[in-house]
A and B are shown apart, each in its own frame.
Chain A
């Protein structure tokens, strides 16, 4: 499969050059500029001098921003936990469903995944706002109205809605690969279903579950649209703060530093995941 590039120079150069040039010019350089800016100082409106200062990173120690990071991590963690709890039974059913039902369940989770994020978020806004029909229904029973939109609760609901497929799909692929006779052996040895899942399925599928958790946590951490539209003034996540630095406050170096902290967190999560994958692959 792996020919040396020297042997087929023409084919090699004609396939590699364009994508490599593109990725360097339009991805590596832009990110590099942001990275450089994170060590810079604002001069004018959009003028930045890269001075090598660490001030921008130091500003992150400000309790205001620490709070926002903590809150973002908490939002992402809660989202992931809820997604795992909600998604695991779904993935389990999908794994053990008949082939036709399996396809339908897969489609059921894939379609929202591909539906525009903005549309989905807007749909939730319409449902949850004070004049939305949840409150309408609650009012019918003499309850409410509940203030749901523009709260942290709404943000969590929105994040769970958006990220559920991120956890169900990898969970399904993990459970589907699980040797069914392990479950049967556990039942045969006297364990009930809950115990079988906790004592056998979860430990055996742990690398896959952790991988699913990462695949949910990483995008949840960087969410911009959901907290922006569903959240209130106190539900800002990192992305909102970054947006403000670039679009309103015009403090690019600080925004750049914030972006890169988010990048570092993302990359760290990916490294953890790759490490898990490797561990899973190691024993025969």
Chain B
């Protein structure tokens, strides 16, 4: 991870007529990573992937692979291979011939070719299907063919365009684990496009979140969730309570935000670069807010600012989800906060009915402060 990047996008833009699909993206991907490009549909993630494959040409910018400029190289001259969203398995060729297609073009001699095809089919557990035609396969099997066909060429990077989107929910879950395992086994760098955040978080070693053609944040999944760079990231990944406020205190090791939406300040254990008085956004994840019944003692706030981070409210709506219950809690200022409460014992949900008054509290390490 510390070496030179395997893939480098340098100020890459792609315009389709007046539409800007990819807007000045600069991004590094390292050897051996399982990198995902995440974002809502139309955010440019697929275009970015297709530019890496050579299927689209950037309007401006450069794409380097292993330090070599590949921007103008045609797709057939790039050491990358792709698993297409529709799989694009050749319908007129058998499974084995599909997998052998790229090797034949590379003039790999027959014995080696057969061996590599067999190996690739073993890898995706299709050894018994070598002679079948694609129309005799299920969707999941076709995808494995596409995967084997790409991997057999031993690409430096494997590109996956929404590989799981066409599978049903159960199969998708299984394929997630299997893809991750295959990546471990072959050690090839994977770059995967997905619009499904669960998929991205579960599989990726690093993840780039895009919106409207621009990179929003590039980080490990946990960092993306816990330290979102901006409101879009915080909103897109998971659920978050977003509160608009003003920076009151801002020291290197702590800060406090006051907001009209809350009757208490929000105290955080990290400093924010802006000076006091800067308008900011504070995000608090629902699972990081503790709920206690109002007849319990008031939870204690942070030592440095005891009145912060604790408020009270009334449960106005509850959605029971089994492991957790998601409550909407209305505070005295009228703000509704989403709070998820773990049902740690069987009676837990019943103890917090709609209409109950509750204490809301969160530790200084729960909120994140964002500038935009």
Binding site for B on A (CB under 8 A): 179, 181-182, 184-192, 195, 199-200, 203-204, 206, 283-284
Contacts and interface: CB of A to CB of B under 8 A. Distances in A.
A146 to B, nearest CB: 42
Contacts of A184: 53, 55, 75, 82, 84, 88
A200 B90 contact: yes
Interface range for B: 20 to 34
Task: Name A's interface SS.
Answer: helix
Given A188-B76, A190-B76, A181 B88 contact: yes
Contacts, number: 65
B88 A187 contact: no
B106 A185 contact: no
A97 to B, nearest CB: 15
Pick the 8 closest A-B CB pairs, nearest first: A189-B102, A185-B88, A181-B88, A187-B75, A203-B92, A190-B105, A283-B135, A181-B84
Nearest to B152: A189
B144 interface: no
Given A187-B74, A188-B75, A195 B88 contact: no
Contacts of B81: 188-189
Given A190-B105, A190-B153, A204-B91, A185 B76 contact: no
A206 B93 CA distance: 13
Contact of A189 (B55, B91, B105, B133): B105
Interface string B139-176: 00000001001100100000000000000000000000
A186 B55 contact: no
A199 B101 CA distance: 9
Contacts of A191: 76, 101, 105
A179 to B, nearest CB: 6
A68 to B, nearest CB: 39
Contacts of B86: 179, 181
B135 A284 contact: yes
Contacts of A203: 92
A221 B153 CA distance: 48
Given A181-B84, A181-B85, A181-B86, A188 B92 contact: no
